[in-house]
């Protein structure tokens, strides 16, 4: 364990050269101690504290921290004599991983491109939709989050991310779930793409209805727009099916973003899946076979990581595991009678939301107070950026029953402490 002087020196170097404003925010919340060890769903900090991690790298550590089966395989891959980057060749690993993902998504004749981040895949999806349709405009919905590259920020469903940035005329954010507004925009005939999360992460696990997504898909077909599902977080089993739109009973989109869980929290890897007609309109033209890509997109180590992670998720039967664990946890929450807060979501993409009673007793910041109290009880969650009344919960998909017990007991103690403080103040 580092000495206080060593900790202070490390923090001083970060403040001097990286982001002192962020470090100060962490200090105010008591989060400025670095994790020294991570294993499964647990973090051990340099100041001796131990947390149950229900953020899990914003869902990227889908099998928890340092999954040994994944790391052992990647250790072997490091010494493979094949090049990691070969931009003028092709990769057999890419074919294997693409075929597996397309099968899970139900894209019978689709194609896949690989990148490093979800935001990079989002940008690629918007670019391909525009190139395929010859249109410029893109629509998204309030409460959504698609990364922090420039265009993804313009399509974010919250003004916080756009501070100081002008809204481009070819990007529009609509009220969440407002099909009439979407129909009116699509009827203009100039929309290339509609981008959405079937289950929104930053809005506190807010899910579309399957029938509404079916109607939106029909509107897109009628007006010649491409429908893009951003499943960077909700995909690969987290919502109780391989993809959230399947769990909701919605039709498949034209383009699909896969990220986070595909990496296992180890190496950056993302995928963009898209239909054959888009491939024909963009890549199959003479001289255009390499019209989109990136230097590190589809590198050997990243693809191997994705293949190994997908196999581990299959072995776990991740969709069933998430579905059953999430259902059991929500049932036990109701049975526990923890007043004022509701546990909502799909599978293990969850949110704790402060209801009217909790906000009456604890104030509008009830969710934030619960977040801080849970830190004291040894549980790490994250506030929902687009819903101040909610905390996001993203446990590993292989979370153990004993860890769910620990979470429930911590919540009991945290809510009791908040109630006691409200009564005596």
Model confidence over 95-104: pLDDT tens digits? Answer: 999 999 999 9
339 pLDDT more than 90: no
Instruction: Please report the pLDDT score of residue 284 as a whole number.
Output: 96
Question: Do the beta carbons of residue 313 and residue 322 sit within 8 Å?
Answer: no
Mean pLDDT, the chain, as a whole number?
Answer: 95
Q: Is the pTM of this model over 0.75?
A: yes
Q: Which two tokens stand for residue 385?
A: 């950026």
Of 87-91, 112-116, 307-311, the one with minimum mean pLDDT is 87-91
The closest alpha carbon to 318, from 398, 258, 245, belongs to 398
pLDDT range class, residue 2, cuts 50, 70, 90: confident
Question: Do the beta carbons of residue 32 and residue 18 sit within 8 Å?
Answer: no
pLDDT range class, residue 425, cuts 50, 70, 90: confident
Distances (CA, A) of 360 to 366, 367, 388, 423, 424: 9, 12, 15, 12, 15
Of 11-20, 153-162, 375-384, the one with minimum mean pLDDT is 153-162
1 pLDDT more than 80: no
pLDDT range class, residue 70, cuts 50, 70, 90: very high
29 pLDDT more than 80: yes
Question: Do the beta carbons of residue 57 and residue 64 sit within 8 Å?
Answer: no
Q: 273 has which bridge partners?
A: 112, 256
Instruction: Please report the pLDDT score of residue 169 as a whole number.
Output: 85
pLDDT (mean) for 350-357:
96
pLDDT range class, residue 164, cuts 50, 70, 90: confident
163 pLDDT more than 90: no
Q: Which residue has the higher pLDDT, 88 or 177?
A: 177
Residues 6 or more apart in contact with residue 308 via CB below 8 angstroms: 69, 70, 73, 74, 264
């Amino acid at each position: 364990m580092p000495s206080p002087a060593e900790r202070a020196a490390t923090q001083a170097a970060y403040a001097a050269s990286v982001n002192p404003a962020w470090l100060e925010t962490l200090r105010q919340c008591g989060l400025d101690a670095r994790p020294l060890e991570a294993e499964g769903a647990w973090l051990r900090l340099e100041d001796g504290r131990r947390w149950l991690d229900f953020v899990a790298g914003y869902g990227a550590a889908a099998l928890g921290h340092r999954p040994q089966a994944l790391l052992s395989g990647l250790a072997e891959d490091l010494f493979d004599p094949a090049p990691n980057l070969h931009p003028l060749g092709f990769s057999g690993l890419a074919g294997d991983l693409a075929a597996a993902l397309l099968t899970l998504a139900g894209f019978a004749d689709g194609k896949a491109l690989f990148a490093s981040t979800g935001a990079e895949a989002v940008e690629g999806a918007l670019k391909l939709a525009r190139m395929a349709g010859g249109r410029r405009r893109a629509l998204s919905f309030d409460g959504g989050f698609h990364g922090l590259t420039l265009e993804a920020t313009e399509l974010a469903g919250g003004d916080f991310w756009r501070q100081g940035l002008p809204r481009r005329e070819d990007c529009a954010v609509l009220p969440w779930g407002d099909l009439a507004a979407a129909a009116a925009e699509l009827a203009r005939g100039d929309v290339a793409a509609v981008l959405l999360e079937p289950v929104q992460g930053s809005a506190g696990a807010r899910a579309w209805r399957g029938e509404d997504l079916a109607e939106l898909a029909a509107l897109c077909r009628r007006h010649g727009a491409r429908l893009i599902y951003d499943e960077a977080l909700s995909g690969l089993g987290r919502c109780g099916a391989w993809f959230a739109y399947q769990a909701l009973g919605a039709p498949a989109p034209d383009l699909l973003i896969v990220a986070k869980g595909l990496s296992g929290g180890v190496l950056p890897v993302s995928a963009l899946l898209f239909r054959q007609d888009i491939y024909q309109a963009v890549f199959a033209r003479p001289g255009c076979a390499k019209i989109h890509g990136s230097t590190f997109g589809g590198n050997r180590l990243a693809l191997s990581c994705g293949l190994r992670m997908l196999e581990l998720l299959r072995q776990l039967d991740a969709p069933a595991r998430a579905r059953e664990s999430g259902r059991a946890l929500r049932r036990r929450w109701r049975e526990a009678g923890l007043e004022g807060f509701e546990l909502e979501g799909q599978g293990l993409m969850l949110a704790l939301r402060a209801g009217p009673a909790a906000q009456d007793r604890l104030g509008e910041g009830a969710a934030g107070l619960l977040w801080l109290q849970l830190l004291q009880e040894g549980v790490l969650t994250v506030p929902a950026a687009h819903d101040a009344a909610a905390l996001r919960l993203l446990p590993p998909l292989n979370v153990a029953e004993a860890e769910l017990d620990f979470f429930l007991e911590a919540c009991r103690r945290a809510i009791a402490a908040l109630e006691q403080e409200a009564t005596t103040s």
